Structure 1
Amino acid sequence: MALPSPFSVISNILFVLVVALTLQISTAQHYCNSSIFSFGDSLADTGNLFNIARPGGLPSFGLPPYGETFFHHPTGRPSDGRLVIDFIAEYLGLPLVPPFFGGENGTDQSFKDGVNFAVFGATALDYSFLLDKGIKNPVTNFSLGVELNLFKRLLPSLCSSSSDCSKLLQNSLILMGEIGGNDYNYPLFAKTNIELVRKLVPLVVGKIGSVIQELIELGGVTFMVPGNLPIGCIPIYLTIYQTSNTEEYDPEIGCLNWLNKFSEYHNQLLQEELTRIRQLHPHVNLIYADYYNATLQCYRNPNEFGFEKKSLKACCGGGGPYNFNITASCGRPGSTACNDPSSYISWDGIHLTEAAYRTIAKALIQGPYTIPQINTSCIVSSNSQSVQQL
């Protein structure tokens, strides 16, 4: 009897694995999202740090020209307009998610459609833990654990019993970040050795996973968990690590390869953690949001998405090859803003423009940059206009 070829054996194994993964994902329950609860950092902060800033200490993103495109005034969002979370809320037919700080007394009425705990500058790991490792957060002492505790304290005011709270969370979309980027940003901005920073990645991913599991125990069912951006394409990094060694850059788009590989490493470990949690909780719908590739497509094909060919420069900044100057950051004296933010990917050299966030949101909602694909069965025709406007 002839033995099967090695190729045939491998093909059969792959087929079994694909079927198993499909069955595993298909067991996840799908609920229509009637509210959004958000955790994270500046990529999702809709006004928290802005609202708790000390009098006279307004952060630069609380000053013009921030917010000029959509809101026409600063809202605490570090962009010229809306963020990914805003576009997702619009897509679901929900109001923009209010920040926890600055809400209408934090009542169940003001937060009935959800609440945002994301804070500009927040880390995944605790402030004291990072400080013990010589990493100081110069922006805030907020971390993912602090945000989770705020949510736990608020939850009893949103529901009358544990069963009601469980039902509330079953019908909610929980956005878990992006978070973790600042755990790496602070040491990397200080030019800490990349290998030392890599040691933080399993700890960061583990923290994200543990918080997700706590929320599952409270009743959470549907999660969107973004990965890290391609940080090698961000003007602040391109400025800090500028070099004459052309081999360190992607020859096609000019991003720093080693920094993008670091982001890929984080994203790989994060996806492995989500796979592990899926196996423990097959009823949960864990959606990995591929911010990395959804953004990278903009850099690789800027004209296709309406961006200029010089896509690595910031719209608002204080000059230099990438229009980023730490002493003249956007909103501060010495900085100027471009005439058309929609033609830029980077807004202030660290964060993205509304146009870039819109492109990312569209890539997540319409595919193929989520694993598994977002469930669209609950999107009613009344929301079709906002969907088409993405």
Structure 2
Amino acid sequence: MKKQQSPSIITVATTLLLLLLSISTVEGARRKTYGVVGSDSGSSNLKLFVFGDSYVDTGNFIHSQSYEPPYGITFPGHPDGRFSDGRVLTDFLASYLKIDSPIPNASRNASNIQNGINFAYGGTGVFDTHINGPNLTAQINTFDQLIQQNIFTKTDLQSSYALVNSGANDYTRHIQNGSFFDIPKFTSTLVNQMATDLKRFQSLGVGKVAVTLLQPVGCLPALTSIDLHMSCIDLLNKVSENHNQLLNDAIKQLNTEAAGKTSFVTLDLYNAFLSSIDTLKKARDGNSSLMNPLEECCVANVGHECGDVDDKGEKQYRVCENPNVAFFWDIVHPTQNGWNAIFPLLQSSIGQLIQQ
């Protein structure tokens, strides 16, 4: 079966380039573990439920490049459904919580959900951005159905965590559909829908919810290629900044309405990306063996993406010599090394969530 291509890979370069040119005034089964399960995690019932897109998907998008070489070459050593050479944000958070990464929903059964479930699906968004993949609302609906079936107890939910990463693919699809001049209005609509979705976790009884802010889209290799990966595109980062300001406001309101029943925090991917990239750039000045953090490790031939092969089986991409010194794996997704640099900058927020 021919693999389905992820919209976040195929279209992001062209659609966001159109944004740069057109919006000059805008300011915007296969479970693998990481870490050791420990009894000191605070509760034997602790579970992690994951929602969103390819930044947190660990294997739900079965027919995608994430199940093709060279994905997974660092961990687990073969393609395993992660959009990276290795571990992704979900794995790092699970390890921090001292549990195994939750099983992808596509692989779950009655005996393998002790650490929670990952509902995230690469290429999806808050709205419909993927022809087959469930949007954020649909992912939460599936979770709700399992709760109604008494798969998880009230105690399970009260002591559990939800991780939500969504929104980037919505901007790509919005621009692809020809909407170039209404980004501020779209951002407001998008964040309002996110808030509606997030509010459901309170009614479902989930105790703690971590919501990622939008990464600096102007730093993705798909965009930095415009100036030979010399710098981030600040104009495009304004899209992320505006999104994050509204989302932060929405999260504050949710915490007010939740009245202590459900705690929400934001994980600042935006500044974590920028800080990590800046640190790696400075380190590279004195170490030529390090890669430019604005370049991807897996470089696809023109008209192709990482993981593509032609009819003769010949690779239409090349992989850098050492992914462990690269920040980005492909034109959108960080390497395991990239996530390893990002995650420590998120830990203070996660720590606050744990203490609440």
Segments of 5+ residues of structure 1 without an aligned counterpart are: 1-30, 54-58, 128-136, 320-324, 378-390
Distance, in Å, in 2 between the alignment partners of 1:144 and 1:311 is: 30
1:218 aligned residue: 204
Equivalent AA in structure 2 for residue 37 of structure 1:
F
Deviation per CA, 1:248-272, whole angstroms, max 9, x where unpaired?
x9xxx61111110100111110000
Within a 5 Å distance, the mapping from 1:114-263 to structure 2 comes to 114-125=116-127, 127=128, 137=129, 140-159=132-151, 165-176=153-164, 178-188=165-175, 190=176, 192=178, 194-239=180-225, 242=226, 254-263=231-240
Deviation per CA, 1:266-295, whole angstroms, max 9, x where unpaired?
111000000111111130321110011011
Distance, in Å, in 2 between the alignment partners of 1:342 and 1:212 is: 35
Q: CA 1:235 to 1:313, structure 2 compared with 1: closer, same or farther past 3 Å?
A: same
Equivalent AA in structure 1 for residue 218 of structure 2:
G
Q: CA 1:113 to 1:141, structure 2 compared with 1: closer, same or farther past 3 Å?
A: closer
Q: CA deviation at 1:45?
A: 0.5
The answer to whether residue 322 in structure 2 is matched with residue 346 in structure 1 is no
Q: CA deviation at 1:197?
A: 3.0
Q: How many residues align?
A: 304
Q: CA 1:314 to 1:264, structure 2 compared with 1: closer, same or farther past 3 Å?
A: same
2:46 aligned residue: 34
Choose from 229, 234, 252 the match for 1:275: 252
Deviation per CA, 1:170-211, whole angstroms, max 9, x where unpaired?
1101112x10111002234x3945432332211221122112
Deviation per CA, 1:74-109, whole angstroms, max 9, x where unpaired?
111110000111011112111111100122xx32x3
Choose from 59, 67, 70 the match for 1:47: 59
Alpha carbons 2:219, 2:233 under 8 Å: kept:
yes
The answer to whether residue 51 in structure 2 is matched with residue 63 in structure 1 is no
Within a 5 Å distance, the mapping from 1:335-374 to structure 2 comes to 335-365=317-347, 367=348, 370=349, 373-374=352-353
1:302 aligned residue: 280
Over the matched positions of the two proteins, sequence identity in percent amounts to 29
Alpha carbons 2:281, 2:293 under 8 Å: kept:
no
More deviation in 230-239 or 112-121?
Answer: 230-239
Alpha carbons 2:210, 2:350 under 8 Å: kept:
no
Equivalent AA in structure 1 for residue 268 of structure 2:
D
Distance, in Å, in 1 between the alignment partners of 2:239 and 2:182 is: 12
Q: CA deviation at 1:318?
A: 2.2
Segments of 5+ residues of structure 2 without an aligned counterpart are: 1-41, 310-315
Q: CA deviation at 1:309?
A: 5.7
2:38 aligned residue: none
Distance, in Å, in 2 between the alignment partners of 1:243 and 1:362 is: 29
Q: Which of 1 and 2 has greater Rg?
A: 1
Once superposed, what is the RMSD of the aligned Cα atoms?
A: 2.6
Distance, in Å, in 2 between the alignment partners of 1:315 and 1:92 is: 29
Alpha carbons 1:169, 1:219 under 8 Å: kept:
yes
Equivalent AA in structure 2 for residue 122 of structure 1:
T
Q: CA deviation at 1:152?
A: 1.3
Alpha carbons 1:165, 1:219 under 8 Å: kept:
no
Distance, in Å, in 1 between the alignment partners of 2:144 and 2:354 is: 27
Distance, in Å, in 1 between the alignment partners of 2:131 and 2:215 is: 20
Equivalent AA in structure 1 for residue 61 of structure 2:
L
Deviation per CA, 1:344-381, whole angstroms, max 9, x where unpaired?
1110111110011122222112x3xx38834369xxxx
Choose from 81, 98, 105 the match for 1:76: 81
- Indicate the SS of the match to 2:171: helix
